[in-house]
Amino acid sequence: MALGTAAGMSLAYILLPMFFVIWLAFFAQEIPSFPPEGYSLKWFRAVPGNDRFVSGFVLSLQVALVATAIGLAVGIPAALCLVRTRFPGREAVNNLLLLPLIVPGIVLGIALYVFYVEAELATGWPLLGSLGGLVAGHVLLAIPWTVRLVTASLTGMDRAVEEAAQSLGADRLTTFRRITLPAILPGIVAATLFGFIASFGNLEMSLFLVGPGRTTLPIAILQYLEWKIDPTIAAVSVLQILFIGAVMLLTDRFVNIGRVV
């Protein structure tokens, strides 16, 4: 009973801000104040008309998709190597790959910014504010999730199952495709989801990496806030919550996320 109450309070604590954001999005007046003077959908209608939000959403989506894909391509082999082989410094590499989760995004952003400046000066390649530079930064956000979650599902897997497949006539590649991959799929799906969300919602690091005319959705929201505090922001947030929620629901249809995370 006491446990139920505690759980209920925690849930309320988590949901309360979200509740207010959603409520606010439907306020009729321009300057949010309580009680609302009326309700309206005009802020939602305004969002598609705002180029900065639309292009921000498109860029965030593109960056998140590409960064997550690269993160998986790097993270899955890394996890396999970390779990399946023993080499000196293994633990250190493992921790190193999780570092982007621990280092504050703003520090990561500044570090990358300084690095890009130096690298651009040294090589002449236009790294600063480039799309490639932005994606590369976001890959750093996706890698720790991939490594962590795929490592977890690999660790829980019985090696004998793979050996059984090999004894039955499956070579290494077939064994990976038919046995290992299905076994770690929930981990991979969860990693994709978390990597995507981490990248899509990132603000602090991206601030240092975007270039002129290239703005992600969280930055577009921030910039809008500098000028106005009308419920458009709340409407955008609601749309973003709906979008992420849809992604999660869709994922849950294929893999039971609750089982892996």
Partner 1 sequence: MARLQLNGITKVYGDFKAADNVSLDIADGEFLVLLGPSGCGKTTTLRIVAGFIEPTSGSVRLGERDITALPPWKRNAGLVFQSYALFPHMSVAENVAFGLEMRKVPKAEMAPKITEALRLVRLDHLADRLPRQLSGGQQQRVALARALVFRPDVLLLDEPLSNLDAKLRLDVRVEIRELQRKLGLTTVMVTHDQEEALTMADRLVVMSEGRIRQIGSQQDLYERPAEKFVADFVGRSTFIDGRMDGPGRFVSAGGLAVACEGAATGAASLALRPERLALTAAAMPALDNSFPGAVEFISYLGSQVDLHVRLSPKDRVIVQIQNRPEQPLPVIGEQVHIGWSRSTGRVFPS
Among 168, 225, 249, 250, binds partner 1 (CB under 8 A): 168
Least distance from C-beta 170 to partner 1, angstroms? 5
The answer to whether 190 touches 255, Cβ cutoff 8 Å, is: yes
Distance CA 35, CA 24 (A): 11
> Least distance from C-beta 179 to partner 1, angstroms?
6
**Residue 221: which of 205, 201, 195 has the closest Cα?**
201
- 252 contributes a contact to partner 1 by CB under 8 A: no
Whole-angstrom Cα distance, residue 218 to residue 231?
16
User: In terms of CB distance, is 179 or 236 closer to partner 1?
Assistant: 179
Q: Which is nearer to partner 1, 157 or 203 (CB)?
A: 157
Instruction: Give the span between the Cα atoms of 193 and 213, in whole angstroms.
Output: 28
Smallest gap from Cβ 261 to partner 1, in A, equals: 19
Question: What is the per-residue binding string for partner 1 in 171-200, x denoting contact by CB under 8 A?
Answer: x--x---xx--xx-----------------
Residue 242, H or E segment:
helix 232-254
Task: Specify the residue, 4 or 182, whose C-beta has the smaller distance to partner 1.
Answer: 182
Distance CA 237, CA 218 (A): 9
At 198, the amino acid letter reads A
Residue span 147-166 as binding mask against partner 1, x where in contact by CB under 8 A, dash where not: -----------x-xx-xxxx
Interatomic CA distance for residues 97 and 123, integer angstroms: 27
Give me the least distance between CB of 260 and partner 1, in Å please: 14
The residues that touch partner 1, with contacts defined as CB under 8 A, are 158, 160-161, 163-171, 174, 178-179, 182-183
